[in-house]
Chains A and B, each alone.
Chain A
Amino acid sequence: MAEENRIQAEAVSYTYEEAETPALSQVSLAVKPGEFVAVLGHNGSGKSTLAKLLNALYVPTEGRVLVCGMDTRDDDRLWDIRRAAGMIFQNPDNQIVATLVREDVAFGLENLGVPHDEMVERIDRALEAVHMTAYAATAPHMLSGGQKQRVAIAGILAMTPLCLIADEATAMLDPSGRREVLDTVHRLNREEGISVVWITHFMEEAATADRVVVVSDGQTVLSGTPREVFTEVEKMREIHLDVPHMADLAKRLRDAGMPLREGILSVDEMTEEVCRLLCPSN
């Protein structure tokens, strides 16, 4: 039997108090073990609300969310759910609690009541996994944004999660910091088999996922592999989202009558396809 889904959201709706229209309506999402799912959407599309529903920070007004089989409405399992689905947030400064890096990584473990010796071991391992061992005794305000986010990831990692939810974790970082954080998460996904829900508005980041879910106005609009999603140029335009340049170019060329194949995303693929069309002999 296949392992159960790490996260399963079933027709979930959520309406904020005092709001008239739901921020999220009838959204379903399933994340398999080891899967990297990107949730792509604009500001106000409901993607952050979705993130907070996935680890019981919010409880759905309709539908239900299961984290490793545990219903987020079940108060008794609250801490198990949050341990299993760790979350990192957008602002790197506002999620670091302690005055030293290793003490911040310890925060979650202290909350879980992990014994001291085991705690030290798990902190060392977590810091090593995000390549921050050298900064264990540094004050967080001395670190760069990307480093702070990696510390936040280590803090989650120490709690041995099965799933990592990143709510626009790179939105406030510079390009090198973004690279650094995304690479770290990809590596953990590959090496430790941690499922990832990567919420973002950066199309390039979504393109690196196994699967992309596009949300707009609180609803799922598109879902599929990055290749499937990004070749839906018109649909993406409709909700004011960009597509990779080559997908755009391929669409225009096809509209102009060139019989290009579907699913072109990169410059290399485009070059190859154009060469194939121009010199069929090769």
Chain B
Amino acid sequence: MLKNITLGQYYPVDSWVHRLDPRVKILLTIALIVAVFLVRSMVGYAILLTFIFLASCLANVPFRLMIKGLKPLRFILILTFLLNLFFQSGGGEQEILVHWWIITITRAGLRQAVFFSARLALLVICTSLMTLTTSPIQLSDGIELLLSPLKIIHFPAHELAMMMSIALRFIPTLLEEADKIMKAQMARGADFESGNLIKRAKAMVPLLVPLFVSAFRRAGDLAMAMEARCYHGGEGRTRLRVLKLTRHDLFAVIAVALLIGVIILERAAMPDGWPL
């Protein structure tokens, strides 16, 4: 069962978006996040959502997968909505929609609630477009290369990426091992499934202790093996995976630039805030 796990959210198909340079994808995602914050009206959000929907079509990723990414955040979304709904602070005359007992809902409050929850949802959807179409190893490559200028101030960009890729390499190995230890402990009468939360957490101790011990041993072995293969940090190192910018990356940049242009126009057209 552990043989075919996919890490993170990565949706492994081949597409135009998948083939884009991870560096470009990371930067464009940051640009999209900025765009989300620039939006001033629901019209702007509609434009953004349409853009992302089109991108997901280009990426061969079902759009519902991106919506699914919102599920873990549903409580935060609901909380954002409710807080904004009830505690809208705005001076002056306000149109009251509902007034019951101590609860007052104003039109502005409703607007604000919808607006901020939409903002949060869109932020998540934008980033999941990147994580769904970029494999973790590509992401770590992209991050390493983007951060490498910081090496001047001794930021360990290479070490960070190496750690990420080793972690990715060992996740399946450690999962397999956890499975094995769990079975061994169950064979000796350990019970991982019954009892309340605290009891179950305690039951994890005989699983975690051997797992940690073995992880440390593996780390020692691996360090020795890496040294034996002449590893001596990022200096003077060449790379098998080379990232090259293509004209497709240029197209993607142009598309996002146009989108941001449209959003800025929309912002100018709606100077007074957030009409619903």
- Measuring CB to CB, which residues of chain A are less than 8 angstroms from any residue of chain B? 52, 55, 57, 79, 82-83, 86-87, 89, 91, 93-99, 102-103, 106-116, 119-120, 123, 139-142, 155-156, 159
B227 within 8 Å of A (CB atoms): yes
- Binary flags per residue of B210-226, CB closer than 8 Å to A gives 1, else 0: 00000001100110111
A-B contact pairs, 29 of them (CB 8 A): A57-B227, A79-B230, A83-B230, A86-B228, A89-B228, A91-B221, A94-B217, A94-B221, A94-B225, A95-B222, A97-B222, A97-B225, A97-B229, A99-B168, A102-B240, A106-B240, A107-B231, A110-B237, A110-B240, A111-B229, A111-B231, A111-B232, A111-B237, A113-B238, A120-B240, A139-B172, A140-B169, A141-B3, A155-B229
Instruction: Add 5 more A-B contacts to A57-B228, A102-B240, A139-B172 (CB < 8 A).
Output: A79-B232, A87-B225, A97-B229, A111-B237, A119-B240
Q: How far is the CB of B219 from chain A (nearest CB, A)?
A: 9
Residues of chain B within 8 A of A93, CB atoms compared = 173, 218
Residues of chain B within 8 A of A155, CB atoms compared = 229
A111 touching B169, Cβ below 8 Å? no
B218 touching A114, Cβ below 8 Å? no
| Option from B224, B227, B230, B242 in Cβ contact (under 8 Å) with A112 | B230
Cα separation A211 to B13 with both chains bound (whole Å): 53
With A57-B224, A113-B238 known as contacts, the answer to whether A141 contacts B229 (CB < 8 A) is no
Residues of chain A within 8 A of B229, CB atoms compared = 82, 86, 97, 107-108, 111, 155-156, 159
| Option from B137, B176, B238 in Cβ contact (under 8 Å) with A109 | B238
With A99-B137, A111-B232, A141-B176 known as contacts, the answer to whether A116 contacts B165 (CB < 8 A) is no
A110 touching B227, Cβ below 8 Å? no
Cα separation A52 to B226 with both chains bound (whole Å): 13
- Closest B residue by C-beta to A55: B228
B250 within 8 Å of A (CB atoms): no
Size bin of chain B's contact surface: 20 to 34
Residues of chain B within 8 A of A156, CB atoms compared = 229
B236 touching A113, Cβ below 8 Å? yes
B247 within 8 Å of A (CB atoms): no
Residues of chain A within 8 A of B228, CB atoms compared = 55, 57, 82, 86-87, 89
Q: How far is the CB of B241 from chain A (nearest CB, A)?
A: 7
B239 within 8 Å of A (CB atoms): yes
A95 touching B225, Cβ below 8 Å? yes
Judged by DSSP, the binding face of A is helix
A142 touching B3, Cβ below 8 Å? yes
B67 within 8 Å of A (CB atoms): no
Residues of chain A within 8 A of B221, CB atoms compared = 89, 91, 94-95
Judged by DSSP, the binding face of B is helix
B165 touching A82, Cβ below 8 Å? no
B166 within 8 Å of A (CB atoms): yes
- Closest A residue by C-beta to B166: A97
| Option from A57, A79, A97, A142 in Cβ contact (under 8 Å) with B169 | A97
Segment 146-178 of B: residues with Cβ below 8 Å from A:
165-166, 168-169, 172-173, 176
Residues of chain A within 8 A of B240, CB atoms compared = 102-103, 106, 109-110, 116, 119-120, 123
Q: How far is the CB of A150 from chain B (nearest CB, A)?
A: 15
Residues of chain A within 8 A of B169, CB atoms compared = 96-99, 140
Residues of chain A within 8 A of B236, CB atoms compared = 113
A89 touching B225, Cβ below 8 Å? yes
B226 touching A97, Cβ below 8 Å? yes
A111 touching B230, Cβ below 8 Å? yes
Cα separation A139 to B176 with both chains bound (whole Å): 14
Cα separation A95 to B166 with both chains bound (whole Å): 11
Residues of chain A within 8 A of B172, CB atoms compared = 139, 141
- Closest A residue by C-beta to B136: A99
Listed residue (A87, A89, A93, A140) with the most chain B CB atoms within 10 angstroms of its CB? A93
Q: How far is the CB of B118 from chain A (nearest CB, A)?
A: 37
Residues of chain B within 8 A of A159, CB atoms compared = 229-230
A116 touching B242, Cβ below 8 Å? yes
Cα separation A276 to B237 with both chains bound (whole Å): 65
Cα separation A86 to B230 with both chains bound (whole Å): 10
Residues of chain A within 8 A of B232, CB atoms compared = 79, 111
| Option from A94, A110, A112 in Cβ contact (under 8 Å) with B222 | A94
Cα separation A96 to B165 with both chains bound (whole Å): 11
A119 touching B238, Cβ below 8 Å? yes
- Closest B residue by C-beta to A158: B229
